[in-house]
């Protein structure tokens, strides 16, 4: 099993949106960064991901989702009416992918970015590296376990 972190703005799509649909799967779409896209393509069924609220009053890890469907082409890239539309996208050779996720649980509290940065055991976590702005990234098992203890 692999571990991940997936960022979303809670005003666009937050952990509460998933929590209202227990047992249902949702397609994680709209990723338009090649490095983040590559992470999506590496995800396997059964992997777990922290659901991170970005650009929020309380920025941080809000919950956990399970990957329940591996990467498939992101249809929003081909839809001119969608705000994730990419006119350079080609359905015959897709550039953008998404995965199906399912709500696992909300954390008892949001573990804020400031708290994550204050923890010595997390100093090498990809999220906390200077310039790290990816919306999808891997999380090492040691960091996953340390965060769950918080």
Q: What is the pLDDT of residues 124-137, one digit of tens each?
A: 999 999 988 899 99
Q: What is the pLDDT of residues 104-116, one digit of tens each?
A: 999 999 999 999 9
Q: In the chain, what are the domains?
A: 3-138 (3.10.590.10)
Question: From CA 130, how far away is CA 132, in angstroms rounded?
Answer: 6
Q: What is the pLDDT of residue 83?
A: 93
CB 12 within 8 A of CB 139: no
pTM reported for the whole predicted model = 0.94
Q: What is the pLDDT of residue 22?
A: 83
Rounded to an integer, what distance in angstroms lies between the CA atom of residue 10 and that of residue 59? Answer: 9
CA nearest neighbour of 97 among 55, 67, 59, 63: 67
Percent of the chain with pLDDT over 70: 100
């Amino acid at each position: 099993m692999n571990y991940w972190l997936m960022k979303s703005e809670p005003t666009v799509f937050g952990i509460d949106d998933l929590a209202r649909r227990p047992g249902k799967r949702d397609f994680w779409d709209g990723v338009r960064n090649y490095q983040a896209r590559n992470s999506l393509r590496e995800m396997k069924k059964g992997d777990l991901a922290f659901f991170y609220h970005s650009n929020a009053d309380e920025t941080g890890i809000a919950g956990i989702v399970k990957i329940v469907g591996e990467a498939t082409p992101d249809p929003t890239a081909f839809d001119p009416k969608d705000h994730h539309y990419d006119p350079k996208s080609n359905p015959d050779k897709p550039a953008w992918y998404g995965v199906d996720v399912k709500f696992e649980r909300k954390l008892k509290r949001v573990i804020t970015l400031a708290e994550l940065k204050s923890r010595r055991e997390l100093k090498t976590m990809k999220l906390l590296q200077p310039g790290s702005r990816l919306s999808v990234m891997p999380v090492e098992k040691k960091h996953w376990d340390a965060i769950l203890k918080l």
